[in-house]
A and B are shown apart, each in its own frame.
Chain A
Amino acid sequence: MSTQATDIASGGSLPIETAHDDMIHDAQLDYYGKRLATCSSDRTIKVFDVVDGQQQKSSPGQTLKGHSGPVWQVAWAHPKYGHILASCSYDGKVLIWKEDQQSQQGGTWLKMKEHSLHTASVNSVSWAPHELGAIVACASSDGKLSVLSFKNDGTWGADIFNGHGIGCNAVSWAPATVPGSLIIPSQTQPSQSQSASQPTQSTGTSNSVKRFASAGCDNLVKIWAFSDSQQAWMEEETLEGHTDWVRDVSWAPNIGLPRSYIATASQDRTVVIWTKDSPSSPWQKTSLEKFPDVVWRVSWSLAGNILAVSCGDGKVTLWKENLKGVWECVSEMVN
């Protein structure tokens, strides 16, 4: 116990030097928390191994080059697809990288797919829940959203459609299970829905579980659902409430409760939590306290009970909903 002086379990934090030449824009841990991918304005992406919060000295990070502009976000895919990383950048491209796993040491990252359907900076990229397949959604400043899916026959299909007029800032997928039901979508058996005790499954779009939320420069958050009948993405709902660009949206993971949560961060210095008590009820909004500066990012913990809010005043605060339904700040982190 005494040797764990610098271990993160004690609450300490060790800085990891990424050696980027320019500002870092995103850092994501992979599914197991063992690998870290960072991306920066220096147009590169770096991948490190981390153990217990420390960068492993044995394996230095790998650098992935391929973008011609600052890279805004990276996203790890579910490990069942292999070691896949998606990145999006100012140059309008979304790149999908795959690691060659020939040897433990010599794993190299190769660009597997380049997606350049957008005509302006792609601001955000997000993988869908793995039950839906290998699908990635991208939001771009050309006002469009695109959904790339890797099909069973090895090709990539792309759907691109207008999202928010001036530009789209973020996308976040809904969890694959519809809260309150036991439908778990499966790629091969779409009609897996349990006959036993499916309660109020309203027909129509609430049945479709391919759903994501997008945040745009038109101050709106829109929820998109894939309609099987029309084989296209349809705008399902619009959440209004922000008075400036919505910078980030994050859909809380589903832990089995019937309630859904979406958190949105906006340049109007507020974070709004949208809750929906059941698939058929409307979204209700709750705001957290006003922040001193623009809010850039919101992130839910894996169990969906804590929300990390990254604000422009240099602090990352953690919020939790108490039993009365009020969100309170439980922790604060600064540099």
Chain B
Amino acid sequence: MKRPGWSPSLTDTPETPYYTSSISSIVRTSGGDASLSEITEDEGAFGRPITVDMREHVHDATSNMSISPTNRDVVLAARNGLFIIDLESPNAVPRHLPQGGTWNVADVQWNPHISHWEYVVSTSNEKLLIWNLSLGGNTAIQTVLHKHYRAITDVNWHTHEPNVIASTGLDSWVWLWDIRVNAKPTMGLCAFNPGATQVKWNRHDPNVLASSHLNTVVLWDRRKGTVPLKTFRAHSAKIYGIDWGTMQNPSSLVTCSLDNSIKLWDTQSVIRSDTEDPTPINVINTSYPVWRARNTPFGKGVLALPQRSETTLEMWSWDLINQSPDAPPVAQFAGHKDIVKEYVWRVIGFDNGDPQEYQLITWTKDRMLRLWPIQRETIKGVSSESQRNSSPVRSKRKPTSAIYRPASFRDIPIFPEVGHTVGDMSVLLPSAEHRSASGDIRVKENEKVIRNTDPEKQSTSDVPSGDPLVIRASTMTRGGKTSSKVDLKPFTWLTSVRIGEAQADSGSGHGSVVQSRQTSRSRPGSVNVASRSAETSAQRDDSLRTEPADTQELLKEEIVNAINALSMYKLELENVDVDVSRTCTIGFQGDWSETSVYMRVTFQFPPAYPLSRNPSDSPDISLERNPLIPRDTRLFLLRTLRSIRDRRPCLEDCLRFLVGDQKYGRQQDSSDDESQERQGTKKAQLSVVRGQKNIPEFRNLQGYFGPNGEIICFFGAPKRFMRGRPMDASPPPMSAKSSNIDPTMFQTGHLSVAVRKLSEFANLHDPTFSLSSNIEADNVVRVMDQLLIGNRRRRATTGSRGREQEVSAQKGQSVLSIRDVAHLVAAEKRVAQVYIISTRNPSALCEENAAIARKHGRYDHERMFRVLQPLVANVAPQQDRYAAVRWGQFPMARQLIVKLYEELCGKKDLQLLAMMAVVLFQAEMLTPNLQAAHLSQPDPHQNPFLTAGRPVQSNPDYFGIRKLSESRQAGTEASWGSRTSDSPTSPVAPRSFTSSISSKSSWSSIINSSGVRLLMGGNQDRSKIDPASPTEQMPPERGALPSKQNTLEFRRSRNSISETSVSFLQPPVKSAAVPQVISRPRVTIPPSQPRRLTFSQAVTSKSSAVPTKRLVVDLDYDWDADTQPLPQSLMDEQMHKQCEAHIRAYAEMLPHWGLMHKRAELMKCIPKRARDDPWRFTRVIQILAFANATMYHMSPPLQM
């Protein structure tokens, strides 16, 4: 509505309440005055200072707050949305309207017009968000207005037109918007200056607005367009806040700035003046930069908000300042723990349009909301003399009529369907469920407990109840609940709100409204009087308000404490209303039927609780009806609760009883009650254990490995009832299968067990080995012994079978057994004890360990050693009779080793892996040079085998071929053994091949495959020189040994050799060198020969080697380092590393068996690197350990 300029405005303050009838139809009309007065007196927390701790809910700092035009709700704007707190029920969980955004909110303002009271505007960087709080759906944002191109710093609703907003920002534009027109702003005003900080509409003239830019103020008239009325420099530093004057002086403007001053201007004179630097009417000098300074809604005062470092708000009176520029502030609001970011005024209680009481609401940076009552004296202090006398603020608050009690936006307003009368529906529907704004489920009690469910009383804080249709509507119109990111549990919220918190500073009990500050230049007289009287009045006020405050707080504390104490039981505080109706509903898991049941109990506390010990002031307790709970149990519960509730405090005890906590066990009326309870609680406790949804069902069966290849297992209570099964102190294994009563049959069972064990032993170590009958014989004896023993026991216990059965069934659960599965685990302690690790010669190591393995029955180990031995056989220190030979001569070695290694890796046999690694490392260490040059070298040792007078070996026999031939002979170990004694130089390699073939190892697979060809081919080169050089007495049997089969093979392979020799990558041997070798022991092979061998050469060598029959071995070699061909490294880098890792891992395993000395030996095998030995500190006591049988006297180096 348009008004002529500068006419008196209709209203005093911008936040004049203005009720329309449509709104009041939503409002519950209360029954009678009695309830009303009740409400007004302990109303919300109007009279008392409240502290609301929002820290847990609002995670980032919000700096903005606004109050609704009805003064009932406060909105806090944060990055993640808006929070609406109902000031009358601060203990109720605030409503959260989510907003996805990462921008801090610069400003938020609730539409000050009651007619449009559902609109709130907030900023999001350069956008304006218009929220409509009555919107349902996902979000409450109705519109987004975007015109600024830089961040918005201030918004301001028009003081008269409810749809108009002015916004301004860092881009120095002021945009005027009409929210009915969404697309574009209606007008834009630009100051072309640095960005604006504030914009404010004049409270009186609808066309005038002011904006502040840096340190200048620009006055606009929107009818004038984009040329300002006046631009004037107001301060010397940045202006933070501006505020137009109230009715008394509508053209006055208050500005505050960084330069520590608040100035009051008369804009009319400023406009009329020509200068850019007018003088203000009044200046207040503060000691701090002022962030906001606004006129008070009462009198002529200004409340200043410091920008930083100060936490006290100060209120000045302009009149006093007029009289003396250094007048002290009239009032101070101290006690904030952090700087105050925003404040709003709250007015309550209108009597014919006159505000009755004021409240200051401050929001601090530490996210605490505080409500300060304004004392009358304060108001007087800022009022002018005339005002003080004429219209005193009423001393007693009159009850306001219901029509003026607005609804809170904390709940989503429901627009009732036509035809339904809202209210009283709850009477008709016994247990309707509905959701309140915060999404809690509240179950209405049935009409028995009507006191709880008084819809009138609860109307202020929840949606209309009882009407299912309305309820459904409510769930649909829930605003943004589903996407709320904020977890607002009533319990958490409850702990955040504190009423009547005692502040530090002043002497008064509540709040710390310090009336005056003594300064040197103050006027002591009047001010002091004011202060004294203020204090006394404050105290008087306190006494009036102590009672209700305390009980409320006490009740809240009690609820909080009870829930905390029983946090183990996961109680759910579903609904709590401490302020108005003093009820709370708690959900819990209780074991009052066969299974544990989720139940709800509602407590309704009379006002005098908990201070009064009168039984009539005990709470009303009602249990939700649950079909799973039998009637008797329910009655029992209610009866017991009734007896418990007379205690003070009773909530925790009641809850303890309900959840079946065993700590609950107080005096009972009757003994049977007690025993019943004990049982009940015990049962309840157990069921709590089981019913706790997060405790996994506990296991009573387990098999766990021990360090020595044993499994320790227990099987809990037997699942099947084994009827007639005789329990024994030491039942043989697998006896579960023999569940018969008949003793004879049981013996049969034994036999079957015996047979099974026999077969087990057969498979025990080596799946292919089947020859060691002597060992099996031992096992059979063992089994037979057990049989006999078992039989004897059987006879003894036949008579007492029945009794034992029962006993042992109970005992069964506490019995465990240790079973040995070392045969599967593969790593064995007893062989670990005896394996030799450190010898100089890796092949001797292999041999000895092979023998040891055999002795202990570990044929798989033996096989490995035997396979490995020839591969390392040719490495020996110089002093040894085994002359050192290079690796490269036997190119297959590497591949074989890799193959063997892979097999062991597949079996994951750590022991063997480590032993193999040891062998390989040793071999490596002994070779003088480790360069990867390829070479070939005749092996004098191998030579004896090469052409041993066999007709087959017209083809130069290589080491490999010879081995093949021998290997195909089965069971010739004995003969070989003798042979080795004859020929000291012959390595025991042949034997290994024997066993390896028979054990179907990868070796045989190599042999049988094309690898053989390679083998042949490779060795062929080398052996060109062979036939002549070595000499050895070949045992005569050798010639006789090869079987037909071998011959055939050889022939076949021989043929293939010729084909493949060319392709084989072996360094060639000059055929010319052949004859030389015969005479000289030294073999020189130039390493830089082309690799390929021509066919002719091969053929030549073949032919030349054929006639040789005798081999001469000259053992006195004199190897010249220069002429030595460079050795090829046996393992590649990766394998090398892994081998070292194997050794280390094995070394970690050895201490489990107590073999510390073995471990020490083992660690020495690792080639020289920095060895980090975690056990180094135990070296000192290794000797002790070794000497001492038991390990438990090791003094730990770590004193704990």
Contact present for B1194 and A79 (CB under 8 Å): yes
CB-nearest residue of chain B relative to A19? B814
Q: Which of A15, A31, A169, A316 contacts B701 (CB 8 A)?
A: A316
Known: A1-B778, A134-B1200, A303-B909. A8 touches B702 (CB 8 A): no
In the complex, whether A27 has a CB less than 8 A from a CB of chain B is yes
In the assembled complex, how far is the CB of residue A151 from the closest CB belonging to chain B, in whole angstroms? 11
Chain B contacts of A20 at CB under 8 A?
A: 813-814
**With an 8 A cutoff between CB atoms, is A310 at the interface?**
yes
Interface membership of chain A positions 47-74, coded 1 if the CB is closer than 8 angstroms to chain B and 0 otherwise: 0001001000000000000000110100
A166 in contact with B699 (CB, 8 Å): no
The chain B residue with its CB closest to the CB of A184 is: B1172
- List of B residues within 8 angstroms of A32 by Cβ: 707, 1152-1154, 1191
User: What residue in chain B is nearest A247 (Cβ atoms)?
Assistant: B696
Q: How far is the CB of A18 from chain B (nearest CB, A)?
A: 5
Nearest Cβ in chain A — how far from B903, in angstroms? 7
Structural contact, A245 and B696, CB atoms closer than 8 A: yes
Q: Which residues from chain B contact A313 at a C-beta distance below 8 Å?
A: 719
Question: In the complex, what distance in Å separates the CA atom of A104 from the CA atom of B1193?
Answer: 9
- B1090 at interface, CB cutoff 8 A: no
A10 and B782 contact, Cβ closer than 8 Å, known pairs A150-B1200, A197-B1133: yes
**Residue A281 lies at the interface, judged by CB distance under 8 Å to chain B:** no
CB-based contact A13/B818 at 8 Å: yes
Asked if A241 is an interface residue, CB under 8 A from chain B, the answer is no
Q: Is the CB of B715 within 8 A of A335?
A: yes
A90 touches B689 (CB 8 A): yes
Determine the chain A residues whose CB is within 8 A of the CB of B815 once the complex forms: 15-18
Asked if A98 is at the interface (CB within 8 A of a chain B CB), the reply is yes
Q: Which of B703, B786, B1153 has the most CB of A within 10 A?
A: B703
Contacting A at CB under 8 A, from B686-732, are 689, 692-720, 729-732
Tell me if A141 and B692 are in contact (CB < 8 A).
Answer: yes
User: Which residues, 65 to 118 on A, are CB-close (under 8 Å) to B?
Assistant: 69-70, 72, 79-84, 90, 98, 101, 104, 112
Tell me if B714 and A24 are in contact (CB < 8 A).
Answer: yes
Contact B813 A24 (CB under 8 A): yes
**Contact indicator per residue, chain B 562-594, by CB within 8 Å of chain A (1) or not (0):** 000001100000000000000000000000000
Query: Which of the residues B701, B782, B1145, B1172 comes within 8 Å of A254, measured between beta carbons?
Result: B1145
Chain A residues whose C-beta falls within 8 Å of the C-beta of B1139 in the assembled complex: 256
A260 → chain B, closest Cβ, in Å? 13
Q: How far is the CA of A234 from the CA of B394 in the complex (A)?
A: 63
| Contacting residues of chain A (279-327) with chain B, CB-CB under 8 angstroms | 294, 296-297, 299-306, 308-314, 316, 318, 320-323
Chain B nearest Cβ from A182, distance in angstroms: 6
Q: Interface 1/0s, chain B 43-78, versus A by CB < 8 A?
A: 000000000000000000000000000000000000
Bound complex: CA A255 to CA B912 (Å): 11
* Contact (A38, B692) CB under 8 Å given A33-B708, A119-B567, A134-B1200: no
Q: Check if A123 is an interface residue, CB within 8 A of chain B.
A: yes
Contact A24 B814 (CB under 8 A): yes
Q: Which residues of B contact A50 (CB under 8 A)?
A: 818
Do A306 and B825 form a contact, CB below 8 Å, given A4-B782, A15-B730?
Answer: yes
Which of A81, A217, A301 makes the CB contact (< 8 A) with B825? A301
Q: Would A333 and B711 count as touching, CB distance under 8 A?
A: yes
Q: A303 to B826, Cβ gap below 8 A?
A: yes
A302 touches B705 (CB 8 A): yes
- A82 pairs with B711, CB closer than 8 A: no
A121 is contacted by which of B695, B716, B783, B827 (Cβ under 8 Å)? B695
| B703–A12 CB distance below 8 A | no
Residue interface bits B714-755, CB-to-A below 8 A is 1, else 0: 111111100000000111111010000000000000000000
**Which residue of the partner chain A has the closest CB to B756?**
A11
* CB neighbors of A among B1069-1104 (8 A): none
Chain A, interface size category, equals 35 or more
Q: Do A306 and B821 touch (CB < 8 A)?
A: yes
Smallest CB separation, A229 vs chain B (Å) = 23
State the Cβ distance, B713 to closest chain A Cβ, in Å. Answer: 5
Contacting pair A12 B732 (CB below 8 A)? yes
Interface flags, B402-441, vs A, CB<8A=1, else 0: 0000000000000000000000000000000000000000
Contact present for B702 and A14 (CB under 8 Å): no
Chain B residue at minimum C-beta to C-beta distance from A316: B703
Given A8-B819, A257-B905 in contact, is the A17-B811 Cβ separation under 8 Å? yes
Q: Is A232 an interface residue (CB 8 A)?
A: no
With A130-B1174, A257-B908 known to touch, is A27 a contact of B714 (CB < 8 Å)?
yes
Asked if B535 lies at the interface with its beta carbon under 8 angstroms from chain A, I say no
Does B506 count as interface, using CB distance less than 8 angstroms? Answer: no
In the complex, what residue of chain B is closest to A17 when comparing beta carbons? B815
A41 with B698: CB separation less than 8 A: yes
Q: Indicate whether A227 reaches chain B with its CB closer than 8 angstroms.
A: no
Query: In the complex the two chains form, is B1149's CB within 8 Å of A302's CB?
Result: yes
* A27 touching B782, Cβ below 8 Å: no
Nearest A residue to B782, CB-CB: A10
For the complex, give the distance between the alpha carbons of A294 and B907 in Å.
28
Min distance, Cβ A302 to any Cβ of chain B, angstroms = 5
Counting CB contacts under 8 A, is A177 at the interface? yes
Give the CA-CA distance A189 to B1174 in the complex, in Å: 11
Q: Which of A158-202 contact B (CB under 8 A)?
A: 166-167, 169, 177, 179-182, 184, 186, 189, 192, 194, 196-197, 199
A264 is an interface residue with CB less than 8 A from chain B: no
**Contact mask B662-697 → A, CB, 8 Å, 1/0?**
000000000000000000000000000100111111
Q: How far is the CA of A108 from the CA of B406 in the complex (A)?
A: 73
Find residues 217-262 in chain A having any chain B CB closer than 8 Å to their own CB: 217, 245, 247, 253-258
When chains A and B are docked, how far (Å) is the Cα of A41 from the Cα of B697?
13
How many Å lie between the Cα of A44 and that of B817 in the bound state?
Answer: 19
CB-defined contacts of A179 to chain B, threshold 8 Å:
1141
Q: Which residue of B lies closest to A217 (CB)?
A: B694
- Return the chain A residue nearest B1177 by Cβ: A80
Decide if B1152 touches A184 in the complex (CB within 8 Å): no
Tell me the smallest distance from the CB of A252 to a CB of chain B, in Å.
9
CB within 8 Å of A: which B1141-1200 residues:
1141-1146, 1149, 1151-1154, 1169-1170, 1172, 1174-1175, 1177-1178, 1190-1194, 1196-1200
By beta carbon, the residue of chain B nearest A325 is B906
Instruction: Using CB atoms, name the residue of chain B closest to A18.
Output: B814
The answer to whether the Cβ of A207 comes within 8 Å of any Cβ in the partner chain is no
Most central of A53, A179, A247, A303 by chain B CB within 10 Å: A303
Report the bound CA distance from A288 to B812 in whole Å. 29
Task: Name the A residues within 8 Å of B906 (CB-CB).
Answer: 321-323
Say yes or no: is B1138 at the interface (Cβ < 8 Å to chain A): yes
Task: Assess whether A2 is in contact with B699, with CB atoms less than 8 Å apart.
Answer: no
Chain B residue nearest to A296 in the complex (CB): B699
B757 pairs with A11, CB closer than 8 A: yes
Instruction: Determine if A277 is an interface residue (Cβ-Cβ < 8 Å).
Output: no
Q: Who on chain A is nearest to B1148 by CB?
A: A253
Closest to A165 in B: B694
Of the residues B703, B707, B1141, B1198, contact of A297 by C-beta under 8 Å: B703
Docked-complex contact B705 and A308, CB < 8 angstroms: yes
Of chain A, the residue at the smallest CB distance from B1193 is A101
Cβ–Cβ contact B711 & A316, under 8 A: yes
Contact of A120 among B694, B783, B822 (CB under 8 A): B694
Is A276 close to B, CB under 8 A?
A: no
CB nearest to A5 among chain B residues:
B785
Given contacts A245-B696, A256-B1139, A334-B734, 19 further A-B contacts (CB under 8 A): A11-B757, A11-B760, A11-B820, A21-B814, A24-B716, A24-B816, A27-B712, A31-B1151, A80-B1175, A82-B1198, A101-B1192, A141-B694, A199-B1134, A217-B696, A302-B709, A303-B827, A308-B705, A323-B907, A331-B824
Name 22 A/B residue pairs within 8 A (Cβ), A-sorted.
Answer: A2-B781, A8-B819, A9-B822, A10-B820, A13-B819, A17-B811, A20-B814, A25-B699, A27-B713, A50-B818, A180-B1138, A181-B1137, A194-B1170, A255-B913, A256-B1138, A256-B1139, A256-B1143, A257-B905, A305-B909, A316-B713, A333-B711, A333-B713
The 7 closest A-B CB pairs, nearest first, are A316-B703, A256-B1141, A305-B908, A335-B715, A256-B1142, A29-B706, A167-B694
